[in-house]
Amino acid sequence: MSFNEILVAIWVYATRSTNSIIGLIIAILGLFFIISELVTKIRHGTSSENLMLAFISITFGAVLLVFENWLMAIALGLFVLALYQTFQLWNSPVWREFMIISLTTYLVFLVGTVGDFIYELITEEASELFTAWAYNIMIFVFIIMALIFFGKKFVLVSRMMSPQVLYLVLFALIYVALYIVTNLLITAEVIPADTVENLSWFYLAPVLSNSIAERIVFLSLGPYELLIAAAFGMYFISGPLLTKLFGIKPIEDERILSLVEEVRVKMGIKRKLKVGFVEAPILNAMAFGPWFDQRITLICRTLEEFNDDDIRGIVAHELAHNKRLHVVILQVISATEMMIKKALLLPATTLDYSAYRELEVSFGIYFLINYGILAFLYIFVRILEGDADKQTKKAGYGRELAQALYRLEGFYQGVAGDFGVNVQLLTGKEFSEEEKQRFLGEAAIRLYKHVYRPGRWDMIANIFMSHPRSAYRIQAMIDDDLSPIKGALLPYWLILPNFIRGRTIKKFAGKRDDFSDLISSRYKEYFGKAGVKTFLEITRMNELISRIVGREVVAYDQIDDVIVVGTAEGVVISDIICRPLSLSIKDEKGNSQMIQVSDFSIHDAMINEIYVGKMGDTGVLVSYETAKDGNQPEFTFRTLNDEDKTYTKKYTGKPISFLENFVNNEIFFYMDGVDRGAIIKKFKLGKTFSESTFVFDVDHSGVIEEVSLEGKNLLIELPPVLLRFSKDKIAKQTVTMQTLIGKSVILYTKEEIEVGIACQMIGVDEKKVQYKIKDKEFEEERKKIDYIYVFNDIPKIMVKNHVSFVDRLILRLSNRKDMKYIFG
């Protein structure tokens, strides 16, 4: 064959189907990314963390191209990702074990998909039974390995604190029992031999055709009915069962018992309650047991972690579930899932799919349908949660519940994660009082943003959660119009475009002061009247906004469509933790107005000054005016290379004086794969930012090198900036780290991967780092520090071609909404 014929044959093979074409495109993109990453690595020593994305792309695409199997491609991609992350986190306690568990479970799934492929090669029959079995087995492998590594603590700190673990085990036992019973009955010729395939023992409605009876629960018996019966059966024995499973001990503390009794009487519950306690490194509570055996359990390290109001609010909410028979309704919702699946002739569960059903739908499609049904049913579960909150409010404990929710949110702020396991809790680390204060402060700010600046990804995540976001549950305590049904549907509504969801957000904004006061009053109880001030002493958030003092600004509140123009006089620390910073602005008449920094987009707007935008567009600010349909500002600029040419934008960008002020001053500089220190020696602005010239004195392990570059060769990360530190480059980066002494930072170590340590650097050498949180001093091994987030008004200038292609692409995407980078 000639070379051209070989190419044609390859092309025909690669384009034989839609799946192979998609695989080819993904593989080519992955190959391109890998080549570009390797070229950058060879030339400049840059090690991109996103290189793994390129490897995953090429492996995923190659599998899809050759085997046309989406599940196998996904399984291999997940396995490669887990393998990489295991290597990266090998020196991180707990995370290492957790990634080993994940790696093993993904391997099980991968083996299953490969098994189906081999089976098809041998029998020439398509099958996904191995994949389905592997999926079910990997869940139990995950649980068993987690219990081996972490013991009972895993169950307590994971989001499986609910009886879900027990349900998984019970469902598996049901299928084993069902398989044994049906085979015994077949052997005894009591039921037909095909029963194992369709799992229908007999039909209870002979007047109906089998095609109708097989779609309606309890008109024929099978796994659907058994699972419904098992769920209701568990409800009746859940009291002693969960008490034994979780090791719940009775509470004898008179304070707790008297508070529970107070709430019981006020909630109108006649039966006495059994009050228990589980010692675990979390804050939570749960009510369980049938109506005749109602129990409530507090979950915490010590009972002293809950104050009186916490207990009143949490217990009232949990008892509302019992009073309104929500647990029974939850069983009905679970039964509804079985009804839907039987009506559609879908397998009852993935175990049912694996063991008994013919392949009517692919496993991947069945998996997606499962999640679609789950998302639909979770609407009703969230309604029940909202109804329990409403009953709590009616009983007079709304404020207590709202503040308890805030307290819990602050706790989980320190352990991160919306789904699954809170890995941080498995370390057994106890947070210091300063860390607890920081987490509660950050939680207050985050809750405020969820209500008045809701992110769509947060809302999408909430669709697959059983509880509404805490922010909206708190909002419901102060807003009578936010009913349980509205609260349950909010995640869907708030992912819609702004012109649709804007009215809801604006309506919420009318209660923003009440919302803030509710949370701030609890914060003050914990940390006193100076709590916001001491929070800022920990985080130093105010240092970033203070740079605009003395400059002309245009501040715009998009929710209320309010614009404030004038000179920034000063940053003021408020007494409201949700909105810790205020800015005083003096208008041209000399009148001062205070605005909340969290509520406004603040634009530096000095007329006749030169500004540079996200993509390096440079111009002189000529004027600004409000939009025709509101008060949103629009800024007009004159280009530098043509005085008659103007353009408009909805933001100003960075004043060129921001860079000019760093001449002969220290900046951060990225070159040859290392974040280091440098000084801008000279800066000359050209007709455009790309034509501008820079001269740097760059630190190379204590040796200063002069580097000249044009703006087109640079990429500027605006503060706050993230610096990466590698243990194999300690000598090169020690001087850089020493420049951080006295600055406010967040240290991300191998133990503090997710939440970091907010502190002030006070000392550095090649072996350790010393830092201070308020007045307390600590130290950490230098080799354990991976990243440092710098809260200071210092930019990081990067040599563009020393940044990998994938990294630059990701930076461009992150720059779409807010201006975080300047591209030369």
* pLDDT classification of 205: cutoffs 50, 70, 90: very low
Among 244-248, 404-408, 450-454, 730-734, the range scoring the smallest mean pLDDT is 730-734
Do the domain assignments include residue 587? no
Do the domain assignments include residue 129? yes
Quote the percentage of the chain above a pLDDT of 70: 90
pLDDT for residue 168 is more than 80:
no
Q: How do strand 274-279 and strand 249-250 relate by DSSP bridges? A: antiparallel
Q: Between vectors from CA 90 to CA 86 and to CA 94, what angle results, nearest 5°?
A: 90
Residue 152 pLDDT: 72
Amino acid in position 329: I
Residue 357 pLDDT: 55
Residue 71: closest CA among 113, 112, 22: 113
Cα distance between residue 637 and residue 624, in whole Å: 9
Cα distance between residue 195 and residue 174, in whole Å: 16
* Contact status, residue 606 vs residue 566, Cβ threshold 8 Å: no
Stretch 566-594: mean pLDDT: 93
Task: Specify which residues 563 forms β-bridges with.
Answer: 556
Angle between helices 164-187 and 223-246 (to 10 degrees): 140
Mean predicted lDDT score pLDDT of the chain = 85
Residue 197 pLDDT: 44
Among 58-67, 239-248, 350-359, 651-660, the range scoring the smallest mean pLDDT is 350-359
More confident position, 160 or 311: 311
Residue 619: closest CA among 627, 609, 633, 629: 609
Residue 419 phi, psi (nearest 5): -120, 160
* Three-class SS state of 680: strand
Angle between helices 363-394 and 484-493 (to 10 degrees): 140
Stretch 617-630: mean pLDDT: 90
Longest dimension (CA), the chain: 98
E-strand ranges in 499-608 read 552-557, 562-573, 581-586, 592-596, 601-604
Whether omega before 491 lies within 30 degrees of 0, making that bond cis, reads no
Amino acid in position 262: E
- Which of residues 485, 501, 528 is at a domain's end? 528
Question: In this predicted model, what pLDDT tens digit does every residue of 277-299 receive, in sequence order?
Answer: 988 777 778 888 888 888 888 88
Cα distance between residue 473 and residue 300, in whole Å: 22
Cα distance between residue 183 and residue 102, in whole Å: 36
Do the domain assignments include residue 447? yes
Stretch 369-383: mean pLDDT: 91
Among 66-70, 200-204, 775-779, the range scoring the smallest mean pLDDT is 200-204
Task: Specify which residues 565 forms β-bridges with.
Answer: 554
Do the domain assignments include residue 455? yes
Q: How far is CA 766 from the centre of its chain?
A: 34
More confident position, 354 or 251: 251
DSSP 720-765: SEEEE--GGGHHHHHHHHHTTTTSEEEEEESS-SSS-EEEEEEEE-
Stretch 156-160: mean pLDDT: 60
Stretch 235-257: mean pLDDT: 88
Task: Specify which residues 583 forms β-bridges with.
Answer: 571, 595
Q: How many domains does the chain have?
A: 2
What is the spatial order of strands in the sheet that 592-596 belongs to?
592-596, 581-586, 562-573, 552-557, 601-604
Residue with tokens 């550095």: 764
* Three-class SS state of 151: coil
* Three-class SS state of 639: strand
Residue 47: closest CA among 677, 673, 538, 591: 673
* pLDDT classification of 211: cutoffs 50, 70, 90: confident
CB atoms near residue 782 (< 10 Å):
18
In angstroms, the first-to-last Cα distance of the chain is 49
* Contact status, residue 82 vs residue 98, Cβ threshold 8 Å: no
* Three-class SS state of 679: strand
Q: How do strand 295-300 and strand 274-279 relate by DSSP bridges? A: parallel
Stretch 613-618: mean pLDDT: 93
Cα distance between residue 635 and residue 557, in whole Å: 16
Q: How far is CA 675 from the centre of its chain?
A: 27
Stretch 719-743: mean pLDDT: 84
pLDDT for residue 804 is more than 80:
yes
* Contact status, residue 690 vs residue 823, Cβ threshold 8 Å: no
Question: In this predicted model, what pLDDT tens digit does every residue of 292-351 receive, in sequence order?
Answer: 888 888 888 888 888 999 999 999 998 998 888 888 888 888 889 889 998 988 888 887
Q: How do strand 295-300 and strand 610-612 relate by DSSP bridges? A: unpaired
* Three-class SS state of 796: strand
* pLDDT classification of 517: cutoffs 50, 70, 90: very high
Do the domain assignments include residue 164? yes
More confident position, 396 or 434: 396
Residue 483 pLDDT: 94
Do the domain assignments include residue 538? no
More confident position, 815 or 730: 815
Do the domain assignments include residue 821? no
Both tokens of 496, joined, read 């819609």
pLDDT for residue 213 is more than 80:
no
Record the pTM. 0.87
Both tokens of 158, joined, read 């994971």
- Which of residues 168, 199, 229 is at a domain's end? 168
Which positions ≥6 away from 365 have C-beta within 8 Å? none
pLDDT for residue 63 is more than 80:
yes
Among 397-411, 671-685, 726-740, the range scoring the smallest mean pLDDT is 726-740
Stretch 131-144: mean pLDDT: 87
Residue 634 pLDDT: 94
Q: How far is CA 567 from the centre of its chain?
A: 38
CB atoms near residue 816 (< 10 Å):
9
Cα distance between residue 553 and residue 567, in whole Å: 6
Residue 245 pLDDT: 78
pLDDT for residue 692 is more than 90:
yes
Do the domain assignments include residue 108? yes
Cα distance between residue 204 and residue 187, in whole Å: 22
Handedness of CA 703, 708, 709, 714 (dihedral sign): positive
Residue 422 pLDDT: 63
* pLDDT classification of 199: cutoffs 50, 70, 90: very low
For residue 324, CA distances in Å to 268, 271, 285, 386, 707 come to: 11, 14, 18, 12, 72
DSSP state of 578: T
CA atoms lying within 13 Å on the CB side of residue 671: 22
Cα distance between residue 212 and residue 218, in whole Å: 12
Cα distance between residue 697 and residue 676, in whole Å: 11
Cα distance between residue 147 and residue 690, in whole Å: 57
Torsion, Cα of 795, 799, 805, 809 (10° steps): 30
CB atoms near residue 563 (< 10 Å):
16
- Which of residues 118, 139, 168 is at a domain's end? 168
Domain that holds residue 45: 3-168
Whether omega before 720 lies within 30 degrees of 0, making that bond cis, reads yes
* Contact status, residue 346 vs residue 366, Cβ threshold 8 Å: yes
* Contact status, residue 744 vs residue 711, Cβ threshold 8 Å: no
Residue 648 pLDDT: 93
Residue 181 pLDDT: 67
Residue 731 pLDDT: 73
Question: In this predicted model, what pLDDT tens digit does every residue of 7-41 receive, in sequence order?
Answer: 667 777 777 888 888 988 999 988 888 888 888 87
DSSP 194-258: THHHH----BS-TTS-HHHHTTSBTTB-SHHHHHHHHHHHHHHHHHHHHHHHHT-EE---HHHHH
Stretch 728-742: mean pLDDT: 82
Both tokens of 597, joined, read 């920094």
